[in-house]
Amino acid sequence: MAKTSSTEVKPFGFADKIGYMFGDFGNDFTFILSSSMLMKFYSDVMGVSVGLVGIMMMLARFVDAFTDVTMGQIVDRSKPGAKGKFLPWLLRMCGPVAVASLLMYASWFQNMPMGFKIFWMFLTYLLWGSVFYTSINIPYGSMASAISADPKDRAQLSNFRTIGASLAGMVIGVVLPLVVYNEVDGKQILSGPKTTLAALICSIGAVVCYLLCYNLCTERVKVPQKTEKFDLGKLVNGLIHNKALIGIVVASICMLLVQLTSQSMTTYVYPNYFGNVRAQSVAGLVGVVITFICAAFTVKLSQKLGRKELAIIASLFGAAVFVVAFILHTHNAWVFVALYAISYLGLAVFSLICWAMITDVIDDTEVQTGSRSDGEIYSVYSFARKMGQAASAGVSGLLLTLVGYTEATAFDESVVNGIYNITCLVPALGFVLLAIVLQFLYPLNKARVENNAKVLAEKAAKKS
């Protein structure tokens, strides 16, 4: 048995990896549902403009600038208990986040006045994303560095976290397209009541997954409670001069521009452009299969090449495939599924290692400053991911509005061709920007990550 202070704890093992996997499975039951279905639900079922939905998602991120940092401070200043410092938050907040997610898809308000529907959309989205999701996602992400101090273990946690997200993506991407649409005059029309039922099932699944994470994971690295007075100026100054954190923040925004635009646009390109929701379902399954294939070699390959170096290669590859898809402008849904599968290799590789990269940033910050602030740094990272979500929603909503998408024009030829172009070009641009940011802004190459791990190991040995 490994020892931390005077308390015996079981060594890092399979239970931790499976438990951590279920944590993101729970997260993405509601997160992927929101990023892929919320805009479609409000535009096609509730009759709200896609542009307004996109604006709402972007405005909510300004609220997150306060709630994310606040939650990071709460986590850092919370007193560790028998289960540690981070795990108890999963137990406290799993119910509220699940209920808030369900309420976003309130199809029973479909015939209410437009003003009320817009009010309800804003209210429930803020409660879900800016309050409850924040209060569970930040401690969940922060605890990776508390489960193990070994960079190799953290790489495994990152791998399994992405697998968990992929499993949620499979449920939502594969099953939902087959059950939430009604065929009307040969067209695939989203059903409000079916979407609400799907949201209920996803909420229940999220709670179950969070409870599994809570019971299977063990916090071994005892992260002390921060007690010094909060200094906003010091925090901002530290973030501004933290090049590694700035790099991973901007990279995450670019990555989510790729990931979430791809997810949200599949709900438009397959039913509207291709008229084939079965292909949409298969595309969801393909993404999961690709992720599992990449999971088999990504950790070892990242150890050999370095996480930064591997991510750059993957990003450029993904961009090239989306450019090819744009040039072909195929009308064959299955050809598009094949191209999507190939491009997903780039996204899957980066997704599998990005969570280990944020723990690299936490380590680097401790080496540079002598202070460890897992919750604080992860809260900034979480905010960056929400900015990526906002960028994706805002760009998608704006571009769909520009090509003339409304409930009435959803199947017009010029509109559906515009949908296809958005689906290819926005992810391609996101991939290119991601590669540029990693190359020139993110400083944690393989050598620096390994040196940081060595420095912190020596520091820990001196304390023991």
Judge whether 139 lies within some domain: yes
Q: Please tell me the predicted confidence (pLDDT) of residue 225.
A: 59
Question: 6 in a domain, yes or no?
Answer: no
Checking if the pLDDT of 402 tops 90, the result is no
- DSSP per residue, 350-374: HHHHHHHHHHHHHHHHHHHHS---H
Comparing 39-53, 95-109, 162-176, which segment has the lowest mean pLDDT?
162-176
Q: How many CB atoms lie within 10 A of CB 334?
A: 14
- Number of Cβ within 10 Å of residue 315's Cβ equals 28
Q: What is the pLDDT of residue 5?
A: 43
Q: Residue 230 pLDDT more than 60?
A: no
Q: Which of the two residues, 79 and 195, has the higher pLDDT score?
A: 195
What is the rounded average pLDDT of the residues 414-424?
Answer: 94
pLDDT mean over 357-378: 80
Report the candidate in 140, 137, 154 with the shortest Cα–Cα distance to residue 68. 137
| Ramachandran class of 370: left when φ > 0, alpha when ψ lies in -120 to 50, beta otherwise | left
pLDDT at 461: 77
Least confident of 180-194, 232-246, 253-267: 232-246
Non-local CB neighbours of 423 within 8 Å, separated by 6+ positions? 261, 262, 265, 266, 268, 269
The top-scoring range by mean pLDDT among 156-160, 405-409, 444-448 is 444-448
Query: How much is the pLDDT for 193?
Result: 93
Residue 133 DSSP class = I
pLDDT at 2: 42
Helix (H, G, I), strand (E, B) or coil at 183: strand
**How large is the average pLDDT for residues 269-274?**
93
Identify the residue whose tokens are 């960028």.
391
Higher-scoring residue by pLDDT: 66, 179: 179
Residue 75 pLDDT class (50, 70, 90 cuts) = confident
User: Is the separation of the CB atoms in 384 and 127 below 8 Å?
Assistant: no
Alpha carbon separation from 445 to 247, 401, 421 (Å, rounded): 12, 41, 35
The share of the chain scoring above pLDDT 70, in percent, equals 92
191 in a domain, yes or no? Answer: yes
Identify the three-state secondary structure at position 44. helix
Residue 1 lies in a domain: no
Tokens standing for residue 324: 């090819």
Q: Please provide the DSSP assignment of 276-330 as one string.
A: -HHHHHHHHHHHHHHHHHHHTTHHHHHHHH-HHHHHHHHHHHHHHHHHHHHHH--
Residue 442's domain comprises 11-222+233-463
pLDDT tens per residue across span 199-219? 999 999 999 999 999 999 988
Packing angle of the helix pair 243-268, 413-440 (nearest 10 deg): 160
Q: What is the pLDDT of the chain when averaged over all its residues? A: 85
For residue 388, which phi and psi values (nearest 5 degrees)? -65, -40
- Is 3 contained in some domain? no
Q: Of 357 and 230, which is predicted with more confidence? A: 357
* Whether the predicted pLDDT of 299 surpasses 90: no
Query: H/E element holding 66?
Result: helix 50-77
CATH of the domain at 354: 1.20.1250.20
Instruction: Tell me which of 144-153, 231-240, 417-426 is least confident.
Output: 231-240
Averaged pLDDT for residues 221-241: 64
Q: Above 90 in pLDDT, residue 73?
A: no
Least confident of 60-69, 273-282, 381-390, 406-415: 381-390
Region 173-186 average pLDDT = 84
Q: Specify if 392 maps to a domain.
A: yes
Question: Tokens 């981070």 sit at which residue?
Answer: 86
Residue 369 CB-half CA count within 13 A:
19
Q: Cα separation of 76 and 69, whole Å?
A: 11
- Yes or no: say if 321 and 343 are a contact pair by the CB < 8 Å rule: yes
CA dist., res. 385 & res. 91, Å (int): 23
Does 153 map to a domain? yes
5 domain residue, yes or no: no
Mind listing the pLDDT tens digit for each residue in 4-50? 444 567 888 899 999 999 999 999 999 889 888 888 899 889 999 88
| Confidence band, pLDDT 50/70/90 cuts, at residue 328 | very high
pLDDT higher than 80, residue 146: yes
pLDDT confidence of residue 95: 94
Phi and psi at 340, nearest 5°, equal -60, -40
Number of domains in the chain: 1
d(CA 191, CA 408): 16
pLDDT at 349 exceeding the cut of 50 = yes
161: pLDDT strictly greater than 80? yes
Higher pLDDT, 70 or 389: 70
According to the model, what pLDDT value does residue 43 have?
87
pLDDT surpasses 80 at 135: yes
